[in-house]
A and B are shown apart, each in its own frame.
Chain A
């Protein structure tokens, strides 16, 4: 009897493997542990974020994924390949927008893109054509022949993003892409990243801007001291680690500490959790209006009351604390 392969098996499409997979990933610099046993997976088409304060280990993780910094320990696979053995192959499929622009300021905008394209073995004619399209995409077509040096910070950032896309990468790595940009420039970058996401480009982002992570990321991890301390979609993280709403109470010149003492233990009756800061009191609650109303009836009454939805920033501060990390 002939051997028959069941149809279901013959046509079974393998489940899309993770593009990036890390298991107990560690990066050490001497005695300092920058990344301390990180586990993560990034799926195709996903917009994945690393959220953390400066020095939390985000960039070190990115550099390991970008195959420019070998892991000290653990397993890392990008496209199923080993960054140590297959660095050049992996890098040929990655687009990297580093924290520092590292553009060649003496060369023109176009030259910067074409020269970089050549590193990927892209023929000059194709490189030129792609460069023109990308400059259109990042709204820099008018500056195509100008040198990079006089460009504004926002323009340089957009050019760096265009450069990262020149090899049509399967994963775009963005290390703090909008740090130092003015609001207009930030929004333009966000728009472009969102469009790339719609085209199905997998993106990995590091940021310490919560609004950026909340707007862009499908899923993110919060890093602190080299470890992942929370993981999920922005919405899930808010649900899990914060309340639905937050009430911000201010008391004019009266120090919130004093107010808290006067109303004694009653603050906690109005909310699930509260926080007394030097300039305001925060009430974390499911029903902001009710808590605001209750607080307004207290003496002293707040001079201003703001009810808002919980944000990722509340989650982040709750998880990592308000102490400065220097």
Chain B
């Protein structure tokens, strides 16, 4: 018999079968255009620099791509954890419908997070494929960037799930983008090495899950060692995922038990 959480996941996949076309633009075309646009334009400027590739040692495209891979994964995780989750409580009442069946709050949450996993995997695979076509993935070892990207998506998503389950005003969902996504994308080493920043900011960047994801992805696709070693980065992301899951489970339980 199908596990209840799998049945919940199945629901999201049935919906995705109808809506996948619409997601291609936001979560595939836009990041790729970003990659090519910035990689070639800023890259052209940096790579021709007298010091040589802005001190990166590789083309800017090669440096930027794994960063954008991680940040795309984060954006899928956050994007699917904001309006869709809030809506499932307040607009479509999907969670309430699931709650009338034998599904438990945990099944509902695991099913939806499982779907995020699927979505991040699809987006990251597409992005990694473009990188491979551009010849900026360092051999088969670069595939390790995929689980790293998925982990970034999940580490952020679970907390955003908890937030979306707690708020009662949908306008607050935008706050997630303003105070979480945008600053994190800018200061987590996606576009430039965090070493460029002052010591305090570097330390703060070290707390951001995205930075750990960027480090993992970059080390995989560029074939270089990461700053703190893969186990530390992965462990940190896993910690965010687990704590986020526990908080989300509490928030879901509270919201659905009214």
Binding site for B on A (CB under 8 A): 29, 66, 68-70, 87-89, 91-92, 94, 96, 98, 100, 102-107, 111, 115-116, 118-121, 167
Q: Are A105 and B92 in contact (CB under 8 A)?
A: yes
* B19: Cβ under 8 A from any A Cβ: yes
How far apart sit A131 and B25, CA to CA, in the bound complex (Å)? 35
Q: Are B10 and A116 in contact (CB under 8 A)?
A: no
Could you say which of B7, B14, B99 contacts A68, with CB atoms under 8 Å apart? Answer: B99
Could you say which of A89, A94, A115, A121 contacts B14, with CB atoms under 8 Å apart? Answer: A115
12 interchain pairs (CB within 8 A)?
A69-B257, A70-B257, A88-B102, A88-B104, A102-B93, A102-B94, A102-B97, A106-B18, A106-B19, A118-B10, A118-B11, A119-B102
Q: Are A107 and B18 in contact (CB under 8 A)?
A: yes
Q: Are B104 and A119 in contact (CB under 8 A)?
A: no
Q: Residue on A with the closest CB to B4?
A: A119
Could you say which of B19, B92, B104, B257 contacts A102, with CB atoms under 8 Å apart? Answer: B92
B11 to chain A, nearest CB (A): 5
Q: Are B257 and A68 in contact (CB under 8 A)?
A: yes
B22 to chain A, nearest CB (A): 11
B34 to chain A, nearest CB (A): 29
A277 to chain B, nearest CB (A): 39
Known: A119-B7, A121-B4. A89 touches B94 (CB 8 A): no
A69 to chain B, nearest CB (A): 6
Known: A68-B256, A69-B257, A69-B258. A88 touches B103 (CB 8 A): yes
How far apart sit A141 and B99, CA to CA, in the bound complex (Å)? 27
Q: Could you say which residues of chain A place their CB within 8 Å of the CB of B50?
A: none
Number of A-B contacts (CB under 8 A): 70
Could you say which of B1, B2, B15, B103 contacts A106, with CB atoms under 8 Å apart? Answer: B15
A60 to chain B, nearest CB (A): 10
How far apart sit A94 and B1, CA to CA, in the bound complex (Å)? 19
How far apart sit A167 and B102, CA to CA, in the bound complex (Å)? 11
Q: Are A120 and B92 in contact (CB under 8 A)?
A: no
Q: Are A116 and B101 in contact (CB under 8 A)?
A: yes
Known: A68-B256, A98-B96, A104-B92. A119 touches B101 (CB 8 A): yes
B110 to chain A, nearest CB (A): 13
Q: Could you say which residues of chain B place their CB within 8 Å of the CB of A107?
A: 14-15, 18
Q: Residue on A with the closest CB to B13?
A: A115
Q: Could you say which residues of chain B place their CB within 8 Å of the CB of A115?
A: 10-11, 14
* B137: Cβ under 8 A from any A Cβ: no
Q: Are A91 and B100 in contact (CB under 8 A)?
A: yes
How far apart sit A101 and B126, CA to CA, in the bound complex (Å)? 38
Q: Residue on A with the closest CB to B92?
A: A104
How far apart sit A48 and B38, CA to CA, in the bound complex (Å)? 67
Q: Could you say which residues of chain A place their CB within 8 Å of the CB of B14?
A: 107, 111, 115
* B8: Cβ under 8 A from any A Cβ: yes
Q: Are B99 and A121 in contact (CB under 8 A)?
A: no
B86 to chain A, nearest CB (A): 15
Q: Could you say which residues of chain A place their CB within 8 Å of the CB of B101?
A: 91-92, 116, 119-120, 167
Q: Are B97 and A116 in contact (CB under 8 A)?
A: yes
Within 8 A of A (CB), among B1-29: 1-2, 4, 7-8, 10-11, 14-15, 18-19
Q: Could you say which residues of chain A place their CB within 8 Å of the CB of B143?
A: none
Q: Could you say which residues of chain A place their CB within 8 Å of the CB of B94?
A: 102, 104
Q: Are B15 and A104 in contact (CB under 8 A)?
A: yes
* Further 8 A-B residue pairs, CB within 8 A, beyond A70-B257, A111-B14, A116-B101: A68-B99, A98-B100, A100-B93, A102-B92, A104-B94, A106-B15, A119-B8, A121-B1
* B98: Cβ under 8 A from any A Cβ: yes
Q: Could you say which residues of chain B place their CB within 8 Å of the CB of A92?
A: 101-102
Q: Could you say which residues of chain B place their CB within 8 Å of the CB of A91?
A: 100-102
Q: Could you say which residues of chain A place their CB within 8 Å of the CB of B92?
A: 102, 104-105
The listed residue with most A CB atoms (<10 A of its CB), out of B2, B92, B99, B100, is: B100
Within 8 A of A (CB), among B68-103: 92-94, 96-103
Q: Could you say which residues of chain B place their CB within 8 Å of the CB of A118?
A: 2, 7, 10-11
How far apart sit A53 and B93, CA to CA, in the bound complex (Å)? 24
B226 to chain A, nearest CB (A): 41
B253 to chain A, nearest CB (A): 10
How far apart sit A128 and B103, CA to CA, in the bound complex (Å)? 20
Within 8 A of A (CB), among B156-181: none
How far apart sit A159 and B92, CA to CA, in the bound complex (Å)? 16
Q: Could you say which residues of chain B place their CB within 8 Å of the CB of A68?
A: 96, 99-100, 256-257
How far apart sit A116 and B4, CA to CA, in the bound complex (Å)? 11
